[in-house]
């Protein structure tokens, strides 16, 4: 513990220490199994128990009803950019995309290979400093779905009010804010999320999909690109990424033990507010996001100049606060403060920010 | 250690104990990183070092020259069934498949979605008890590639002499015998392997591909299904399955520390021979595979009747020898004895086989 750093990485990202300690303790010899989770047949009872436990805990945490199925896939959100379009863009072969940053644009690029896309809203002209006003969206009532990126890691924006899509299913890339707060599952048709920010290590992608939407895909899709393959076999059609799913299960247990998503949202709000208060109280630090669109997960900000930003990142690292450099495409500073970032980490950062501003302001 | 079992699972499968112990020691706090490998940004220096190390060790172990590139993908061999065909079945849209078991058939099924497939050989009429005689293959000189499954986990057969494919690239699914023996990389155009048998845990798929073949795929392929995406960014286009790659790196180090693939092949031969000698020396056990096609990785055999087979599996499990039940599609017994199965495990199995036959023969 003593020499662990505060890791502000945007992803893969910090995991709860107690989760890591459990994984460490069980690594060579999972209780009563005589082997590591990494050595278990995916068809063996101890692994199947882990698999079902992860599904059940996700269902409990996110309050997911039986209209939805929970899938474990591989390939990250990037593969979902294609799979969503391949599986759901039927029968109209049309979809609405709302563009709020680099990841939305990549999702759009892949969807365009599969059908006709309407950009129903974009904050690109505002340099992605906000989420588009939902009143300005040009949604197509005949679209097969509407796609949003619920949180934008690079720009530090987050949807705080969902667009009304009527009967058109809403598809959300929640890679960077899944389980950061309670959501209304019934407002969504499909949710996908790479695990490596809020859920666990890289290597597993969570897909939560309304069952009726599974029927849309044509049988001609490659087997491994058809959600039905995974739904029919409960994500055990082929060998799943067992270890990553085990880690997701442990992370979900940690969330449940700590009050579920309502409590997580409170902690996340409190942590983010500590930094936003600092940004708002003087001239030295400058937030880059409109207040109403601020993310609770990724807080980007600027200093008076780039030399000071470099100095800030370097001094923070020496104090055990790592990965505070902004994304290479935008520069500046970014503090990613996912579920597992302890409040002490944020307090240490804010104390350092205050001290750094005093010394350099 | 003391309460670990001998795990004869066909995959995911046994890993070297020393590898697991290293992973356990480093899990919470990777040396000098202040965090777990599971928490590292894939763009951070410590993770990049692991990534390059895994690639370099694979290259060294398999004696891979610069004509080839080494990729880390996700989705298992099952996704490669499609990706190989999507990327390599150009310009003729024709390929040869040699069918040696269930996995070949699944590869064939996906390839048929992408082009015209010639079944150039099959041992299905022999219930997959052998590899087809290479003199009988009906290879098409204009095929874009020839596909084989180098080792068949369910039926326990293995290619011991490669077909001559001339200028037609040979593609091999080596999921279950990768790094079990030295191979001639230049005899191959592409090799793929899910990691979870001989290389590490589930969650990463190794692809080794001749660089010139990367140029075949059309730009219209989805980004995540085009090998060029991974080759251009050294498998860091999006977040790779970092932990699984770390485990592969440790497993490769273990192989290198123990004499490389020539030494591994000797150990694997010796282990397999212990069981095959037992099958050949009496009537109680009956091997199901032609001698010239016997696998060094998976040894299937039958007992005089199914009741005895059940008793065998159950008694063996009580003695700490687990997962000896044959695949549900063929029944019987199967001992999977990958690289990491210690000789002591095989000796214990053979001693039990002798005793069981004495008591029940």
pLDDT in tens, A187-223: 999 999 999 999 999 999 999 999 999 999 999 999 9
Which ranges constitute the DSSP H helices of chain B?
17-26, 45-62, 76-88, 102-112, 227-232, 242-257, 260-280, 306-318, 343-360
Long-range Cβ contacts of B42-49 (<8 Å, 24+ apart): B42/A12, B42/A202, B42/B236, B42/B239, B42/B240, B42/B242, B43/B236, B44/A9, B44/A323, B47/B242, B48/B236
- A321 and A352 in contact (C-beta within 8 Å)? yes
Candidate from A75, A225, A247 with C-beta closest to B74: A75
- The answer to whether A113 faces chain B, any CB pair under 8 Å, is yes
- B151 and B157 in contact (C-beta within 8 Å)? yes
Pairing relationship of beta strands B321-322 and B6-7 according to DSSP bridges: parallel
Distance between alpha carbon B103 and the CA centroid of its chain, in Å? 11
- A307's enclosing H/E stretch is helix A306-318
Cross-chain Cβ contact A27/B11 below 8 Å: no
- A287 and A334 in contact (C-beta within 8 Å)? no
pLDDT in tens, A163-174: 999 999 999 999
Opening angle at CA B328, ends B322 and B331, nearest 5: 80
Residues of A with catalytic function:
103, 173, 197
Burial class (CB in 10 A: 0-12, 13-18, 19+), B352: middle
Task: Give the integer Cα–Cα distance in Å for A92 and A84.
Answer: 14
Candidate from A1, A75, A196 with C-beta closest to B75: A75
- The answer to whether B112 faces chain A, any CB pair under 8 Å, is no
Q: How far does the CA of residue A5 sit from the closest CA of chain B (Å)?
A: 5
pLDDT above 90 as % of chain B = 98
- The answer to whether A193 faces chain B, any CB pair under 8 Å, is no
Phi–psi pair at A165, nearest 5 degrees: -110, 10
Contacts of B200 in chain A (CB under 8 A): 38
Task: Identify which of B310, B313, B326, B300 has the alpha carbon closest to the alpha carbon of residue B352.
Answer: B313
Is pLDDT above 70 for A1? no
Sorted by where each begins, the domain ranges of chain A are: 18-257, 260-360
Candidate from B14, B110, B194 with C-beta closest to A239: B194
Instruction: Tell me if the bond preceding A97 is cis, omega within 30° of 0.
Output: no
Structure tokens at A190: 């499909």
pLDDT above 90 as % of chain A = 98
Contacts of B224 in chain A (CB under 8 A): 75-76, 78-79, 81-82, 110
Contacts of B79 in chain A (CB under 8 A): 74-75, 224
Q: For residue A361, what pLDDT is reported?
A: 86
Candidate from B3, B44, B79 with C-beta closest to A34: B3
B328: Cβ–Cβ under 8 A, 6 or more apart, which residues?
none
Mutate to test the interface with A, among B30, B243, B245 (most CBs of A within 10 A): B243
Task: Identify which of A205, A185, A105, A182 has the alpha carbon closest to the alpha carbon of residue A148.
Answer: A105
Task: Give the integer Cα–Cα distance in Å for A56 and A52.
Answer: 6
Q: Is the ipTM of this complex over 0.90?
A: yes
- The answer to whether A22 faces chain B, any CB pair under 8 Å, is no
> String of b and e for B213-225 (b: at least 16 CB within 10 Å)?
bbebbeeebbbbb
Q: For residue A2, what pLDDT is reported?
A: 57
Cross-chain Cβ contact B76/A74 below 8 Å: yes
Q: For residue A346, what pLDDT is reported?
A: 98
Task: Give the integer Cα–Cα distance in Å for B158 and B272.
Answer: 12
Structure tokens at B349: 């199995």
Task: Give the integer Cα–Cα distance in Å for A216 and B304.
Answer: 49
Task: List the single residue in B with minimal CA-CA distance to A226.
Answer: B79
DSSP conformation class of B281? T
Task: Give the integer Cα–Cα distance in Å for B290 and B295.
Answer: 10
Opening angle at CA B214, ends B212 and B215, nearest 5: 75
pTM score, two decimals? 0.98
Task: Give the integer Cα–Cα distance in Å for B64 and B340.
Answer: 22
Q: For residue B7, what pLDDT is reported?
A: 98
Task: Give the integer Cα–Cα distance in Å for A276 and A294.
Answer: 9
- The answer to whether B220 faces chain A, any CB pair under 8 Å, is yes
- Going from the C-alpha of A353 to that of each of A281, A286, A300, A316, B143, the distances in angstroms are 12, 12, 13, 9, 64
Q: For residue A108, what pLDDT is reported?
A: 98
Q: What CATH topology corresponds to B260-360?
A: 3.90.1150
Opening angle at CA A281, ends A276 and A283, nearest 5: 105
Structure tokens at A286: 């400058």
**Residue A175, SS3 per DSSP:** coil
- The answer to whether A98 faces chain B, any CB pair under 8 Å, is no
Opening angle at CA A136, ends A134 and A139, nearest 5: 80
Phi–psi pair at A269, nearest 5 degrees: -60, -45
- B81 and B110 in contact (C-beta within 8 Å)? yes
Q: What CATH topology corresponds to A18-257?
A: 3.40.640
Q: For residue B2, what pLDDT is reported?
A: 57
Q: For residue A320, what pLDDT is reported?
A: 97
The segments of chain B whose pLDDT lies below 50 read 1
Contacts of A240 in chain B (CB under 8 A): 202
Structure tokens at B53: 């190390």
- The answer to whether A348 faces chain B, any CB pair under 8 Å, is no
Mutate to test the interface with B, among A41, A76, A232, A321 (most CBs of B within 10 A): A41
DSSP conformation class of B283? S
- A299's enclosing H/E stretch is strand A298-302
């Amino acid at each position: 513990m003593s020499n662990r750093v505060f890791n502000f990485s945007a992803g893969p990202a910090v995991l709860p220490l107690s989760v890591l300690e459990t994984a460490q303790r069980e690594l060579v010899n999972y209780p009563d199994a005589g082997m590591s989770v990494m050595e278990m047949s995916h068809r063996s009872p101890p692994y199947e128990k882990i698999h079902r436990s992860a599904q059940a805990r996700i269902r409990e945490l996110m309050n997911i009803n039986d209209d939805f199925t929970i899938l474990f896939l591989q390939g990250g959100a990037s593969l979902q950019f294609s799979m969503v379009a391949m599986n759901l863009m039927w029968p109209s072969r049309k979809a609405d995309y709302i563009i709020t940053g680099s990841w939305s644009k990549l999702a759009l690029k892949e969807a365009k290979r599969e059908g006709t896309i309407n950009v129903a809203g974009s904050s690109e002209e505002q340099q992605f400093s906000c989420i588009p006003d939902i009143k300005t969206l040009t949604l197509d009532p005949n679209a097969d779905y509407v796609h949003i990126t619920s949180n934008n890691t690079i720009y530090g924006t987050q949807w705080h009010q969902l667009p009304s899509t009527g009967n058109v299913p809403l598809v959300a890339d929640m890679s960077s804010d899944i389980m950061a707060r309670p959501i209304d599952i019934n407002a969504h048709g499909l949710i996908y999320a790479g695990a490596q920010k809020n859920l666990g290590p890289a290597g597993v992608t969570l897909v939560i999909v309304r069952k009726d939407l599974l029927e849309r895909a044509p049988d001609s899709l490659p087997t491994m690109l058809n959600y039905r393959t995974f739904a029919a076999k409960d994500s055990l059609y082929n060998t799943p990424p067992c270890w990553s799913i085990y880690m997701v299960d442990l992370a979900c247990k940690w969330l449940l033990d700590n009050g579920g998503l309502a409590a997580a949202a409170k902690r996340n709000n409190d942590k983010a507010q500590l930094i936003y208060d600092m940004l708002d109280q003087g001239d030295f630090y400058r937030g880059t996001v409109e207040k109403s669109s601020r993310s609770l997960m990724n807080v980007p900000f600027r200093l008076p100049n780039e030399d000071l930003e470099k100095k800030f990142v370097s001094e923070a690292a020496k104090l055990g606060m790592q990965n505070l450099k902004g994304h290479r495409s935008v520069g500046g500073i970014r503090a990613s403060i996912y579920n597992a970032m302890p409040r002490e980490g944020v307090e240490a950062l804010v104390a350092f920010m205050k001290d750094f501003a005093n010394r350099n302001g």
